[in-house]
């Protein structure tokens, strides 16, 4: 028996050890870049990646997806840090993590899959637009405006500032070169692509910046232990603030939805055990709870790292746990390596990640096949850019509900006008207030000088507004001096 276990362990190491190294190399620039873009110390991105590997990686749920800081929460974290301060970030993440654990324990994880895909894609698209617009300023070592609309409106001025400043032009050239190399990397032979494109691009930008002494901004390093800021009791008094509650709910909704959608996508990439969505939600909640206690960034399951893990040949959860080990060793043994990385290069990585969040190829086919879904997606994205993350998601959810209500409230009116008898009208479907104007217009167009029989037996649902309107129409018809309308059954 021991020989069998030893053989199995060896097979696992042969596949999962190399996979963990590949995921680690992908995770390093993303963890650091997302932290810098979120307005927090770079080390906190690594802390979240470490917790995602060592803790969430060990817990049941999904066996192969990898967790860590995600670009999808960058904008929300940046706004939260700006509004409440870095010291309060841990409190917000802690509350979101505990809420995730509670939702998973109540077996509500599977219900997150019921959220409209158009809302999720619109949310990610809106985040992508804000990330791209904001990081273009960072690529030039310039301060970005605070709101999404201001970022986009200021792009012409940004171009002028870049062309008029040699340091800004140099930094922007480094960031642009980073994006260009990442795009080119995808076309290189598979042997070369074993090294992640983001890592290669950031490494080359670092070498060029250091070798030629370009003098552009690099990552500020404070040390792993100094960067960790457990939430203090001073923030507890303001936890009832409406804005903070909204931020916690937004963290919970976005992190949970993105993680569970990622789990469903990863399940399609491999033949191993399927995800238990309730357990996975609890695992993500446990990870965010610990991240909150450490004052780190919130975590989600990340599809890029998860897909990389599967494609690299991972078989068990050992790969994602080991990737957390490598992140921990890197953060402890080589912290000074972060201080030579140009901020412009990391901004280029985030611009590339933001572009991946835009459903460019999907939008046109979606418009042709499901225009309602395309409208919800686009409206959600634009609302996030114009108003904010939480408000934009609420707009998307409201539109998705209205779209579903509209599509399910189909009614059909069949008229049998066999003179000289009564006009028989059969109404079928779901009669709701959304279709009421059209329904009343059709009824009022019927002959007013003959008896009418309205058969409602085929109506599956009749809401109160439609019930009152039909009764009122029948009474008005009778008051005009014609035979009364016969309603069967009586509404």
The predicted structure's pLDDT at residue 157:
93
Boundary of a domain, candidates 401, 420, 453: 401
Count of the separate structural domains present in the chain:
2
- Shared domain for 59 and 146, answered yes or no, is yes
Give the range among 166-170, 323-327, 371-375, 468-472 with minimum mean pLDDT. Answer: 468-472
Q: Tokens standing for 112?
A: 């997150």
The predicted structure's pLDDT at residue 489:
67
- Shared domain for 113 and 180, answered yes or no, is yes
> Which one is predicted more confidently, 471 or 34?
34
- Shared domain for 395 and 454, answered yes or no, is no
User: Has residue 2 been placed in a domain?
Assistant: no
- Shared domain for 282 and 416, answered yes or no, is no
The predicted structure's pLDDT at residue 177:
95
CB 353 within 8 A of CB 71: yes
Boundary of a domain, candidates 344, 373, 401: 401
Give 408-430 pLDDT, tens digit per residue.
Answer: 777 888 888 776 777 888 888 88
CA atoms within 13 A on the CB side of 410: 4
The predicted structure's pLDDT at residue 69:
93
Q: Mean pLDDT: which of 11-20, 44-53, 296-305, 367-376 is highest?
A: 44-53
Q: Tokens standing for 187?
A: 């076309």
Tally Cβ neighbours within 10 Å of residue 91: 24
pTM, full prediction: 0.75
CA dihedral 201, 206, 209, 215 (to 10 degrees): 120
Q: Tokens standing for 320?
A: 């994602």
Give 297-319 pLDDT, tens digit per residue.
Answer: 999 988 778 877 887 778 888 99
Residues across the chain? 491
- Shared domain for 108 and 252, answered yes or no, is yes
User: Has residue 169 been placed in a domain?
Assistant: yes
Q: Which domain holds residue 417?
A: 411-488
H or E element, residue 243: helix 242-267
- Shared domain for 348 and 437, answered yes or no, is no
- Shared domain for 169 and 129, answered yes or no, is yes
Tally Cβ neighbours within 10 Å of residue 225: 9
> Which one is predicted more confidently, 251 or 422?
251
Boundary of a domain, candidates 382, 401, 420: 401
């Amino acid at each position: 028996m021991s020989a069998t276990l030893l053989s199995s362990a060896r097979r696992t190491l042969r596949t999962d050890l190399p996979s963990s190294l590949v995921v680690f190399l992908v995770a390093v620039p993303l963890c650091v870049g997302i932290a810098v873009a979120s307005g927090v110390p770079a080390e906190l991105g690594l802390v979240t990646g470490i917790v995602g590997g060592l803790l969430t990686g060990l817990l049941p749920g999904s066996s192969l997806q990898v967790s860590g800081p995600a670009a999808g929460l960058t904008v929300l974290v940046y706004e939260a840090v700006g509004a409440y301060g870095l010291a309060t970030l841990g409190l917000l993440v802690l509350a979101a993590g505990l809420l995730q654990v509670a939702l998973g324990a109540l077996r509500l994880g599977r219900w997150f899959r019921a959220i409209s895909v158009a809302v999720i894609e619109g949310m990610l698209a809106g985040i992508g637009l804000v990330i791209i617009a904001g990081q273009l300023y960072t690529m030039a070592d310039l301060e970005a405006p605070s709101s999404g609309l201001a970022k986009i409106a200021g792009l012409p001025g940004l171009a002028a500032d870049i062309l008029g400043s040699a340091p800004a032009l140099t930094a922007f050239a480094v960031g642009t070169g980073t994006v260009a190399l990442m795009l080119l990397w995808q076309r290189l032979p598979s042997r070369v692509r074993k090294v992640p494109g983001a890592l290669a691009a950031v490494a080359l930008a670092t070498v060029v910046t250091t070798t030629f002494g370009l003098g552009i901004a690099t990552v500020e390093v404070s040390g792993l232990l100094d960067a960790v800021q457990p939430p203090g009791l001073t923030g507890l008094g303001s936890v009832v603030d409406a804005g903070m509650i909204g931020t916690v709910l937004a963290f919970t909704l976005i992190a949970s939805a993105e993680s569970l959608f990622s789990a469903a996508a990863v399940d399609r990439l491999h033949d191993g055990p399927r995800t238990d969505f309730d357990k996975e939600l609890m695992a993500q909640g446990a990870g965010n709870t610990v991240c909150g206690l450490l004052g780190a960034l919130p975590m989600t399951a990340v599809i890029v790292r998860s897909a990389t893990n599967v494609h690299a040949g991972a078989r068990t959860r050992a790969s994602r746990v080991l990737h957390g080990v490598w992140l921990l060793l890197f953060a402890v043994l080589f912290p000074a390596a972060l201080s030579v990385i140009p901020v412009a290069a990391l901004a280029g990585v985030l611009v590339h990640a933001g572009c991946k969040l835009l459903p460019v190829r999907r939008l046109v086919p979606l418009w042709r096949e499901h225009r309602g879904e395309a409208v919800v997606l686009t409206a959600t994205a634009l609302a996030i850019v114009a108003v904010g993350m939480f408000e934009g998601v609420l707009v998307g959810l409201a539109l998705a509900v209205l779209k579903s209500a509209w599509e399910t409230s189909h009614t059909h009116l069949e008229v049998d006008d066999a003179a000289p008898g009564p006009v028989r009208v059969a109404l079928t479907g779901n009669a709701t207030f959304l279709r009421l104007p059209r329904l009343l217009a059709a009824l009022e167009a019927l002959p007013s000088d003959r008896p009418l029989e309205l058969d409602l037996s085929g109506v599956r649902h009749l809401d109160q507004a439609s019930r009152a309107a039909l009764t009122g129409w029948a009474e008005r018809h009778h008051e005009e001096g014609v035979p009364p309308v016969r309603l069967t059954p009586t509404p």
